[in-house]
Structure 1
Amino acid sequence: MPGSVLAVGIVACAATLVVAAGAVTGAAVASQRLAGAADAAALAAADAASGAVRGIPCERAVEVAAASGAALEACDVDGLIATVTVSAPFGRLVARASARAGPPP
């Protein structure tokens, strides 16, 4: 009987670790996807600001962020440099990422 209790404890600990690892992996994937959406939105806004593509910079950023499954929270264009912040839900939380794009200094 004592061996059975130990075995159940080990299985419970292993199951808890697997669930925790799955949650951490999911958060890492969501973070990378959101960072990519922020990068793409910032590049789209910077391209529009430079005249490389037609449109209003922040409107382009909204379109690209939405296509990536994110919402644009902030967009600031200073000359040819665009800085954006996007967000997306992750479970009950809201994840955010920011990116900046423009010509090199």
Structure 2
Amino acid sequence: MARGRARAAMCARATDRATAHASAARRSADGGAASVVAVGILGAVVVLATLSLGVVATYVDVRRAAAAADASALAAADAASGALVGTPCDLAATLAVRNGARLVSCTVDGAISSVVVAVSGRVPGVEPVASARAGPPGSDR
């Protein structure tokens, strides 16, 4: 009987060791999976942040172009009406440069001026363009 108990105890220890070994094998197979997921999430966050910075920079450049176009059109309209001394399109080009843009086109029809300006974008290959029209009150009809 003592022999039977000893044998049973030995079998129980062997079973415990086998179970512990199998459990450790399962843990080592799963080990590092959370790290891989974390690196993947971090990479996605970096990509999204980079893309959103490009979108925001382009939006700011578009607003800069619009402001430069408005100022240039007003200067050209003031020169066309005689409120400022100078050639309308020359004044529009000067104001465009002062606002960080370049004048693409300028047309004056009586007291109404229309300008198109472009700014160099912060995102490579993107050059925002804006147009504006100015003249005396009631000239938009």
Aligning the two structures, in what range does the TM-score lie when normalised by the shorter sequence? over 0.9
Corresponding position: 1:9 with 2:3: no
Corresponding position: 1:81 with 2:81: no
Larger radius of gyration: 2
Corresponding position: 1:100 with 2:133: yes
The CA deviation at 1:71 is 0.7
1:66 to 88, 94, 97: 97
Aligned residue type for 1:95? P
Is the 2:64–2:119 Cα contact (8 Å) retained in structure 1? Answer: no
- Supply the RMSD in Å over aligned alpha carbons: 0.9
Task: State the TM-score, normalized to the length of structure 2.
Answer: 0.72
Q: Which residue of 2 aligns with 1:35?
A: 66
Instruction: For CA contacts below 8 A with separation 6 or more, give which structure has more relative contact order.
Output: 1
Query: Distance in 1 between the 2:54 and 2:136 partners?
Result: 38
The CA deviation at 1:17 is 1.0
Q: Gaps (5+ residues) in structure 2?
A: 1-31
Of 35-44 and 85-94, the range deviating more from structure 2: 85-94
Q: Percent identity?
A: 47
Task: State the TM-score, normalized to the length of structure 1.
Answer: 0.95
Q: Gaps (5+ residues) in structure 1?
A: none
Structure with more of its chain in helix, by fraction: 2
The CA deviation at 1:103 is 1.4
Runs of 4+ in structure 1 off by over 4 angstroms are: none
1:24 to 55, 63, 66: 55
Q: Which residue of 2 aligns with 1:45?
A: 76
The CA deviation at 1:74 is 0.5
The CA deviation at 1:78 is 0.7
